[in-house]
Amino acid sequence: MSAPTLAPGGRIDEAKPRKSVRMAVLTVSDSRDASNDTSGDILAGRIQEAGHALVSRAIVRDDVERIRMEVRAWIDAGVEAIVTTGGTGVTGRDVTPEALRPLFDKELDGFSVVFHLVSYQSVGLSTLQSRALAGIIGGTFVFCLPGSNGAVKDGWDKVIGPQLDSRHGPCNMVELMPRLLEH
């Protein structure tokens, strides 16, 4: 038996089974389409490489109601985790936090903190221009990343991916999924 490999902030126990998570990717952009959605492509590829089921993918404009409509539809369809890319900046058109934060049953405050720590290693103080966030809506994890390729890679590789790996210890988000709707 091989020794467990290191993962950011924990360990991967290779002896444990990997559970596939039903996931969706939402690109929020006024300028991207299927031909140039590179950040969405990166996320889709990494999700599938990690053994998860990419059950849907969409691109919507920076519009609060369109973002909410897509996310709600996926939650109603049983998607377990959604990753958005784009719309987390500080310009007037960036509305992903405004669209999704009011829908959160619980916000994962630590996600933003950890994302910014990771992002700082790549882009320095420019990380201040991101309003990356995460929360739970109706029992579904929702992660909102910036739209740059680098931010998507850092967000998935160093934060989301390890926490959506059922083999990650000492704990992970996959093991919490059956209990998210408890009262």
Mean predicted confidence (pLDDT) in 72-79: 98
User: What mean pLDDT is predicted for residues 138-152?
Assistant: 97
Assigned CATH for 19-173: 3.40.980.10
If you average pLDDT over residues 153-176, what whole number do you get? 96
What residue segments make up the domains of the chain, in order of their start? Answer: 19-173
pLDDT at 2 over 50: no
pLDDT on residue 1 = 40
Average pLDDT, the chain: 94
Residue 134: which pLDDT band, with cuts at 50, 70 and 90?
Answer: very high
Q: What is the pLDDT of residue 8?
A: 52
Global pTM reads: 0.94
What does the pLDDT read at residue 124? 94
Convert the chain into a string of H (helix), E (strand) and C (coil).
CCCCEEECCEEECCCCCCCCCEEEEEEECCCCCCCCCHHHHHHHHHHHHCCCEEEEEEEECCCHHHHHHHHHHHHHCCCCEEEEECCCCCCCCCCHHHHHHHHCCEECHHHHHHHHHHHHHHHHHHHHHCCCEEEEECCEEEEEECCCHHHHHHHHHHHHHHHCCCCEECCCCHHHHHHCCCC
Is residue 7 pLDDT above 90, yes or no? no
